[in-house]
Each structure stands twice: as structure tokens, then as C-alpha cells.
A and B are shown apart, each in its own frame.
Chain A
Amino acid sequence: EPEVTQTPSHQVTQMGQEVILRCVPISNHLYFYWYRQILGQKVEFLVSFYNNEISEKSEIFDDQFSVERPDGSNFTLKIRSTKLEDSAMYFCASSERRLTNYGYTFGSGTRLTVV
């Protein structure tokens, strides 16, 4: 069964450093998303991406965040200067269409720890 692959599974970074979280969506999918989940809290929408541009972003997705699909297969989330409060699980998701019977396919997440 096709999967959304996220790497690394766990990343530790120092406050103020830049991090890039990587995702490989399912190959024929066209819609891409990032969500985050602060430990023990709900899953929150960050950004949606379609046709090589951001289609919607949340208040959380400020100037410190950016997304890119550099080579047609990877979908990355960059945090320019990490803060302690960026520590969270980050989920990538992809979808063939805007709405499918089974929802998006989520990756297994990258746990980011900012120290």
C-alpha cells in the first residue's frame, strides 16, 4: 500500500537553528499538507499546497515557516529559526484529490525537539 514517508522520525535541534522536515508524498498525489501536534494536544493545520503554491495557511504558519516541493517528489517544511515552542510532532499528508473517500494519507510524523 502506498505510503507518505517522513524523515527523520525524530530531530533534535538547538533554538535558533534552521530545520528542514522532509516528506515524500504518494507519487500521483497533487495536494499536500503539513499539520503539527504539540505533545498531548490536538492536531493543528499549518499549510496546504497545490500546484506549486500555498493554497491556505494558518496563523501558526508565520514568516519563520516555508514549504517547498523542490523536485516533484519531496515536500519540505522549513523552520528558519526554531523556538522552544516549535517542539511538536509534524505530520505531512497528501491526497490525490481535494476530497477522497478515505481522507488524506498521513505520514508517520517527525518529532521535532528544540532545546
Chain B
Amino acid sequence: AQKVTQAQTEISVVEKEDVTLDCVYETRDTTYYLFWYKQPPSGELVFLIRRNSFDEQNEISGRYSWNFQKSTSSFNFTITASQVVDSAVYFCALSEASGTYKYIFGTGTRLKVLA
């Protein structure tokens, strides 16, 4: 069965610190997709990244980077030099190619960046 685990419920850091949000997933599919979404206090879901199961290349986008490791079924997200505007709930999600591409979300990690 598919499952996404975000073990960190809440993380607090001081501005400019680096922070890593963990995501571990379970799936029987060989083709699947992983996502990270940001949910700021205003409540909308903001797409950050999509990763394919067949592409383990890590990705960097500005202060954001993602580390995908199939061997450990993990897709971790690092924010470098965090800023107060990064304060939000971050969700990791899994979508399997065998189905309707519905998303299975993790429980989210609330990140608080303190000035």
C-alpha cells in the first residue's frame, strides 16, 4: 500500500540556519512521482517540485534542494539560509503511475523560522 511519512511534526529554526525536512515513502509501483508542496498560513497549496522514480538526480533551486534516494525510499528537502517567509507547513506527496495519479500526502511538517 502507498504511504508517505513525515516524521517531523514541527521544526523551529533561527533565520539563516539550514533545515532539512524528511520524507519517507512506501509504494509497490516501479513508476511513481514525488512532490513537495508548501502551505503558507494563507492556506493554499504551492507546488515546489516533482521528481520521477527513474530520475535520482538531486535538484537545487535557489535556496531549496532535494535529495532523492530510492535505496532508502526517501525524498528529503533542504532549505539553506532559511528566512522568515519560509515559515509554512510543507507536505510531501506520492503519486503512482498505475492509478489515477491521485496524490497521497504525508502529514506535513510545520516549519517555523524565527527572526
Contacts and interface: CB of A to CB of B under 8 A. Distances in A.
A42 B91 contact: yes
B77 to A, nearest CB: 15
The number of chain B residues touching the other chain, given as a range, is 20 to 34
Interface residues of A, number: 27
B100 A106 contact: no
A16 interface: no
Interface of B: 33, 35, 37, 42-45, 47, 50, 91, 93, 95, 97, 99-108
Contacts, number: 55
B43 A98 contact: no
B102 A33 contact: yes
Interface of A: 31, 33, 35, 41-45, 48, 50, 55-56, 58, 89, 91, 95, 98-99, 101-104, 106-109, 111
Contacts of A35: 103
Contacts of B106: 42
A35 B44 CA distance: 12
A92 to B, nearest CB: 11
Nearest to A45: B102
